[in-house]
Amino acid sequence: MPVSRKLFIKTFGCQMNVYDSGRMSDALAASGYVEAASPDEADLVILNTCHIREKAAEKVFSELGRLRLLKSRRLEEGRRMIIGVAGCVAQAQGEEILDRAPVVDLVLGPQAYHKLPEIEQRVRSGERVIEMDFPAEEKFERLRGVDRRAAAAPVSAFLAVQEGCDKFCTFCVVPYTRGAEYSRPSGQILEEARKLAGQGVREITLLGQNVNAWSGGGEHGGNWRLADLLGAVAALPGIERLRYTTSHPRDMDDSLIEAHGALPQLMPYLHLPVQSGSDRILQAMNRRHNAEDYLRILERVRRARPGIALASDFIVGFPGETDADFEATMDLVREVNYAQSYSFKYSPRPGTPAAERDDQVDEALKAERLERLQTLINAQQLAFNAACEGREMAVLFDRPGRRPGQMAGRSPYLQAVHAEAGPELAGQVARVRIVNAGANSLTAELAGPAAATRKEAELEIRS
C-alpha cells in the first residue's frame, strides 16, 4: 500500500469541472491520496479552473499567491506541498501560468487528467510538468479503469457522456479550451452507470458541454441519440431519477422531446439556454436559431411534459446589443416564464470573435440591464416556488438540512427542499408537502412513506 498523502482540490466553474475533480481524486486515490479538509494540510493542491467569464485567470493568480505562503510555511516545517493548476485556464494560459507563478509544479489541461498519477510521480522527483493533451477519447478510456471510491459515493451523481463543443458561439471559449465535440461510447457510459447504481446512487445527471449533441452506437448496434441513452440508463435497476445538462436548442431532437413524456425517471426539469431574445443578437452570437425556433421547442417540450420546470442562461450586453435587443430578451423571459435562470454580463474572452468587435457595450449599461433582467428572473423563480406551496411531491433526500433534525434534498424540479426528518432518509425518495416557499429553497413536511418516484411520475405524466 502506498504512503498516505493528502489532496485538496478547489473547483471553480461548471459541473463538468466538479465531475473532473471527482475523477482526479479517484485517480490519485490509487497513489495513496486521501482528501484533506483544507489546503493547509494538503501535500497536493489542485486548482481546477474555469475560463468562461472575466477575471477567471486573475482569480487563479490570487489563489496561487495565497498558496505560495502556505507552501513556504510547510517547507519550513520540512514538508513538501505540490501545487497544480488544471481546467480551462490551464488549457488557455498554461505557459503563462508557469512563467508567472514559480510556485506551480504542474499544469494540466482538461484532457490530460488520466495522466495525473504518473505526472505526480514526475513532479515528486523534481520535474515541473505541463501537459495539455487532446483528444478526450483517451482520457475517458483511461479514467474508466479507475474505480470511484465507494465510501464517497453520493446519492446523486454526475456522469460525463460528452465533452467539448463544435458550435462556436462567438462569445464562448469552450470550443477552444475543451476542444471538439466528443461522445463517449454508450457501453462505457452504461458500465459507469451500473457501477454507480451498485454503489447506491439513485439519481444520475448526464453531463456534457453540449450534452444533447451526444450520439453513438447503441449497446446492441444501431445509432443512438441522447434519448436512447437516457432510456437505457433509466432501465438500470436502482436508478430512480435522471437528468441531463447542458443542452443546445439546435440539438433538441424529436426523440429527446418525446423522452420527456415517455420516461418517468426523467425529471421534469430542462435547462435549455437561449442567451438572448433578439434575433439580431442570436445571429451575431452564431446560435443558428432564432427566438421563435426556441419558443416552439419549449412549447413542444411543455406539451410532452406538462408542468416541466424550464431554465435558461442569458447574456446581457453582447457587442452591439441595443435597448430594443435587450427588451426582446425581457419579452422572451416574460413569455416563457422560467422556473430558474442564470444571467451574466457579456465578458470578452480573448481569442473569441465577439471580443474583437469594436461595438462593445458600456459596463454601466450592462450592469443596469443585468439588474433589470435579474429582478424579473428572481420574481419568476419565487412565483414558481410559491406555486408549489400546499403541493405534494417526491423529494430525493441526500444530506443533512440547515438545522439539526432536518434533512435536505431535491424536488423533481431541482428545488432545494428542507424537512424535519431523521438521517435514515438519506438516499430515499419520500413524499412531502410543501409548507413554505422562499426564492432559493422550500420547506416541507413529510407526507407519507417513501414512494417510488416512478409511480409518481407516471401519474404526473398521465394527468
Give the torsion sign (CA, 260, 266, 267, 269).
negative
The only residue of 53, 68, 280, 391 in contact with ligand 5AD, by rule CB under 6 A: 53
CA–CA separation, 214 vs 251, rounded Å?
9
Site for ligand SF4 in 259-298 (CB under 6 A): none
Considering only CA atoms, which of 296, 238, 226, 298 is closest in space to residue 265?
A: 238
Angle formed at CA 457 by CA 310 and CA 240, multiple of 5 degrees: 95
Print the binding letters for residues 80-119 with ligand 5AD: x by CB under 6 A, - otherwise: ----------------------------------------
Q: Residue 120 in 3-state DSSP?
A: helix
Cell of 314: 442569458
**Under rule CB under 6 A, residue 168 binds ligand SF4:** yes
Helix orientation angle between 226-234 and 186-198, rounded to the nearest 10 degrees? 30
- Of 20-28, 340-348, 408-416, 449-457: span binding ligand 5AD (CB under 6 A): 340-348
CA–CA separation, 420 vs 404, rounded Å?
9
Site for ligand SF4 in 74-113 (CB under 6 A): none
The only residue of 258, 313, 389, 460 in contact with ligand 5AD, by rule CB under 6 A: 313
Considering only CA atoms, which of 240, 146, 135, 148 is closest in space to residue 184?
A: 135
Q: Whole-number minimum distance, CB 255 to ligand 5AD, in Å? A: 23
Cβ(74)–Cβ(116) below 8 Å? no
Q: Whole-number minimum distance, CB 345 to ligand 5AD, in Å? A: 6
Q: Which residue, 2 or 351, has its beta carbon nearer to ligand 5AD?
A: 351
**Under rule CB under 6 A, residue 283 binds ligand 5AD:** no
What residue 347 binds from ligand SF4, ligand 5AD, none (CB within 5 to 8 A, per partner kind)?
Answer: ligand 5AD
Cβ(274)–Cβ(248) below 8 Å? no
Q: Which residue, 106 or 274, has its beta carbon nearer to ligand SF4?
A: 274
**Under rule CB under 6 A, residue 210 binds ligand SF4:** yes
Q: Whole-number minimum distance, CB 159 to ligand 5AD, in Å? A: 19
Residue count, binding to ligand 5AD (CB under 6 A): 12
CA–CA separation, 73 vs 80, rounded Å?
10
Cis? peptide before 135, omega within 30° of 0: yes
**Under rule CB under 6 A, residue 167 binds ligand SF4:** yes
Angle formed at CA 314 by CA 356 and CA 290, multiple of 5 degrees: 80
Give the torsion sign (CA, 364, 370, 372, 374).
negative
Q: How many CB atoms lie within 10 A of CB 123?
A: 17
**Under rule CB under 6 A, residue 13 binds ligand SF4:** no
Q: Residue 241 in 3-state DSSP?
A: strand
Give the distance from CA 114 to its chain's centroid. Answer: 20
Q: Whole-number minimum distance, CB 357 to ligand SF4, in Å? A: 16
CA distances from 177 to 130, 137, 161, 244, 341 (A): 15, 15, 18, 22, 25
If residue 420 lies in a helix (H) or strand (E), which one and from where to where?
strand 416-420
- Of 162-170, 237-245, 401-409, 413-421: span binding ligand SF4 (CB under 6 A): 162-170
The only residue of 48, 111, 177, 209 in contact with ligand SF4, by rule CB under 6 A: 209
Print the binding letters for residues 351-380 with ligand SF4: x by CB under 6 A, - otherwise: ------------------------------
What residue 248 binds from ligand 5AD, ligand SF4, none (CB within 5 to 8 A, per partner kind)?
Answer: ligand SF4
**Under rule CB under 6 A, residue 207 binds ligand SF4:** no
Q: Which residue, 6 or 349, has its beta carbon nearer to ligand 5AD?
A: 349
Applying CB under 6 A, the residues found at the interface with ligand 5AD are 52-53, 171-172, 273, 275, 313, 315, 344, 346-347, 349
Q: Interface residues with ligand SF4 (CB under 6 A)? A: 165, 167-169, 172, 174-175, 209-210, 248
